[in-house]
Amino acid sequence: MSRRTGKKPGPLRVAGDVATAGGFHGYLAEFLEHMAARQFSAHTVKNRRIELGYFIDWCEARSILRPEEVTRAMLENYHQHVFHYRTKTSEAPLSFQTQTKRLISVRVFFQWLARGHHLLYNPASELELPRPQERLPRHILTVAEVEQVINATDVLEPSGLGVRDRAMLETLYSTGMRRGELVNLRTDDVDIERGTVLIRQGKGKKDRVVPIGERACRWIEKYLYTVRHDYVEAEDTGDLFLARHGEAMQGKQLSVIVKKAIETAALDRFRDTHPNAAGHLFRHACATHMLENGADIRFIQALLGHADLSTTEVYTRVSILQLKAVHEKTHPARLARVAQDSEAWPA
């Protein structure tokens, strides 16, 4: 049974025709078992299964039933298919990230086939990925806006869940952790006395210890001593943040809570934020505000759990306060402060 939902997971669909000897189905199942044995997360294995399912369905629709029948030219055709694909609901192209994930899965799958001597050569060895887009977060919450959102939680509601929500938002902003990392926290992961949080099995299945501010600690403490025990079932699983019926909080539930707080705070420029992206607003805000206050970028990298510094450097492009100050001091086309005559002011 799943500790988080209490339900048995349904059967996983592995793409490909089971009846085809040497077909995609058997190899895909073996590949997924290989990934699980190498301690890849269940989330990563699931995504590989889904992404490769799209590729295998595309192949079998063209009577390509076995990996050995795939050629480099076919993979280039699939690349074009992914690029030109449009969703049925919005007629929008797949995002850059989605295109890249689908092609990376194909490349990794064929690399595994070749290394395991299931194929004589790897037809995907030269499969090119889309050029990376250096996208910036569309909006960054200001310090005042963060306070608006956090204060939008109703900490006086009788259920006490408003206190839980406040503690979660304070933790997100103080630590910059991901939503999946927050919902996986256990009660003994937070050391209130030392002001630290142990994040277990973060992205890349790496543990890390991060600092947490005093304000967030006080709200966690209030939640622990006044709310949480009301939602603990007969057996305490040890999960820190519990949902209404005593089960561990889920990532989607957290996203809905953050989205609701943003709507309650009436921040119009964040009105269209997708719930799945809402939790990341606090992560972006944490990193940007600390950089603007002088934090070293390598400290931010350690805080956010980024394996590559280049991932963290996006926040140096978002943080514009220092650049704005230099621009005002040095750019020649600035308004003269000494002008008193109304004619000196622009129309």
Domains annotated for the chain, with CATH where assigned, are: 24-115 (1.10.150.130), 143-326 (1.10.443.10)
pLDDT score recorded for residue 5: 44
Q: Is the pLDDT of residue 183 over 70?
A: yes
203 assigned to active site: yes
34 assigned to active site: no
pLDDT score recorded for residue 203: 73
Q: How confident is the model at residue 10 (pLDDT cuts 50, 70, 90)?
A: very low
Residues in Cβ contact with 275 at an 8 Å cutoff, skipping those fewer than 6 apart: 252, 255, 256, 258, 259
Q: How confident is the model at residue 86 (pLDDT cuts 50, 70, 90)?
A: confident
Q: Catalytic pick from 203, 208, 222, 260?
A: 203
3 assigned to active site: no
Q: How confident is the model at residue 2 (pLDDT cuts 50, 70, 90)?
A: very low
Q: Catalytic pick from 102, 178, 179, 228?
A: 178
283 assigned to active site: yes
Sort strands 190-191 and 196-199 into parallel, antiparallel or unpaired.
antiparallel
4 assigned to active site: no
Q: Is the pLDDT of residue 134 over 70?
A: no
pLDDT score recorded for residue 326: 74
Q: Tokens 């992914």 correspond to what residue? A: 82
Q: Is the pLDDT of residue 150 over 90?
A: yes
Q: Is the pLDDT of residue 223 over 80?
A: yes
Q: With pLDDT > 90 as the criterion, what percentage of the chain qualifies?
A: 47
Nearest residue to 22 via CA among 137, 113, 112 = 113
178 assigned to active site: yes
